[in-house]
Structure 1
Amino acid sequence: MSTFRTSRARLVAAAATTVLAALSLTACNDGTGTNDEGAAASVSADSSADSATPGAGTTATPKSTGGSTGSSGSGSTSGSTSGSASGTKTGTQSPATKAPATKAPSTSGGTVTCEGSNTKTVAAPLTRPVNHLLLTVTNTGDKTCFLYGYPSARFTDAQSEPPVIDESQPQAVVTLKPGQSGFATVSLSAADGSGGNGRTVKSLTVYFYGRSMSGSVGAAAHPQLPAKGLYIDDSVKVSYWQQSMDDAINW
């Protein structure tokens, strides 16, 4: 009896060992054991790859890199906005803020027309050229004056003024600051004696033209002539007013 029980116990133990071995073998060969863990790892890796790679119709958005991305975005936006706003503002406001054109500065006290009350006129006979009289007009006022055109000269009992020498017209109106002088010459008679109606005159009146040259303005001047008078004939003529004496005596 004792022997039988011992053998039975051994059989049961052996059977248990066999069952455990079979179960272990089955677990190793099953597709859900270690192989399942590998598949899970594979699926996890694939899922990560899929999530990192944009799919069809999806726009990839770059990841933020913290301060650098913020700085870049701020600089770009600021630069673009500032540049655009600045350019637009400057372009649109420039005409509105443009300073108005200024007038040419005038001389102190303004300007006036030269005439008898603000000038002094002197008449002096010339030896060269012969038969010529030099008229010198000096600004005695306190304002700059313009000496327009030519002298309107009237000798004793003359019915009209002598004609002007057209070629003597200067480039610009003669301008006299206080104390400055302008000049003109009077050709009294023909040097070769060809002029008619020769006579001696002892007085001269000089009238001044205005800017329009349509008539005399202001007071006339009465320069003194030599006591013996001046000889003139019908060829008498005058030059335009000149800024310098040298220009005047050329005529």
Structure 2
Amino acid sequence: MLPLAACQTGGAEQAEPVSSDVSPATSPSAAPDTWAAPGAPGTRTRVACTPDMLRFHAGAEQHPARHMLLTVTNVSDRTCTFAGQPYPLLRLSDRHPAAARPIARSKPRTPVELRPDGTAYATVTTAAPDRPGGRSAPGSKAEKISQFGVTLADRSDPAQVGVDGRAPVPVDPATARVTYWQRSLADAEKW
């Protein structure tokens, strides 16, 4: 069963535009932010994480109710990196096809790498609160979901991830945000 994180917002969340870049295929180990051509002399290459290498899992928070924890585990036998797409592209609603925007302050110093059987985390804030108690903003277009789509590159087919726990979960796709991939549950719990 998925451990549930106690997420805290601590103020206004900053978001940045959703990336439309497609993940490059390899990265040198000495500089994970810099991509090199496969087989370049003197470099050891790492592959970009792809859906077939990963298993996704999502759990809803019991309190506060406006958070979900997305967990991804590398089920392949190769180390992969999220350098090309450092946060998950979430499609939370068919009526709102745009991906949830990332929380800029959650960006780690270096892209997350996943060794075989390694796990990374992302926290999803399902609505932007404007009042104490986490109530959604007036005029919210919240809808209840029990699954959502996750992609690792723009213009690719999403993997459908079911939500465990308190499903269906109320989500406002227009104001929902997602963190960058985090290396540990403790890092994800900060958001």
8 A Cα contact 1:155 1:205, kept in partner: yes
Aligned amino acid, residue 151 of structure 2: Y
8 A Cα contact 2:88 2:178, kept in partner: yes
TM-score (norm 2): 0.66
- Greater helix share, structure number: 1
Equivalent residue, structure 2, for 1:200: 144
Equivalent residue, structure 2, for 1:136: 71
8 A Cα contact 1:143 1:177, kept in partner: yes
SS of 1:167's partner is: helix
Q: Equivalents in 2 of 1:220, 1:239: separation in Å?
A: 18
Q: Equivalents in 2 of 1:162, 1:194: separation in Å?
A: 17
Equivalent residue, structure 2, for 1:231: 170
Aligned amino acid, residue 199 of structure 1: E
SS of 2:70's partner is: strand
Which ranges in structure 1 are unaligned for 5 or more consecutive residues? 1-101, 210-214
SS of 2:170's partner is: strand
Question: What does 1:87-236 correspond to in 2, within 5 Å?
Answer: 103=42, 106=44, 111-147=46-82, 148-157=85-94, 158-189=96-127, 190=129, 191-194=134-137, 196-209=140-153, 215=154, 220-226=158-164, 228-233=167-172, 234-236=174-176
> In 2 relative to 1, CA 202–182 (structure 1 residues): closer, same or farther, beyond 3 Å?
same
Matched length:
140
Once the two structures are TM-superposed, the CA of residue 128 in structure 1 deviates from its matched residue by: 4.9
Task: Report which structure shows greater RCO (CA 8 Å, sep ≥6).
Answer: 2
SS of 1:149's partner is: coil
Aligned amino acid, residue 74 of structure 2: N
> In 2 relative to 1, CA 232–113 (structure 1 residues): closer, same or farther, beyond 3 Å?
same
Q: Equivalents in 1 of 2:78, 2:112: separation in Å?
A: 14
8 A Cα contact 1:145 1:175, kept in partner: yes
- Flag the structure with larger Rg: 1
Q: CA RMSD in A?
A: 2.1
Q: Deviations over 1:99-133 (max 9, x none)?
A: xxx835x3xxx521112110000001123554111
Which ranges in structure 2 are unaligned for 5 or more consecutive residues? 1-40
- Greater strand share, structure number: 2
Q: Equivalents in 2 of 1:176, 1:121: separation in Å?
A: 13
Equivalent residue, structure 2, for 1:59: none
> In 2 relative to 1, CA 129–246 (structure 1 residues): closer, same or farther, beyond 3 Å?
farther
Once the two structures are TM-superposed, the CA of residue 246 in structure 1 deviates from its matched residue by: 0.9
TM-score (norm 1): 0.51
Kindly report structure 1 stretches of 4+ aligned residues shifted beyond 4 Å: none
> In 2 relative to 1, CA 169–228 (structure 1 residues): closer, same or farther, beyond 3 Å?
closer
Percent of aligned pairs with the same residue?
Answer: 27
Q: Equivalents in 2 of 1:203, 1:112: separation in Å?
A: 28
SS of 2:186's partner is: helix
> In 2 relative to 1, CA 249–229 (structure 1 residues): closer, same or farther, beyond 3 Å?
same
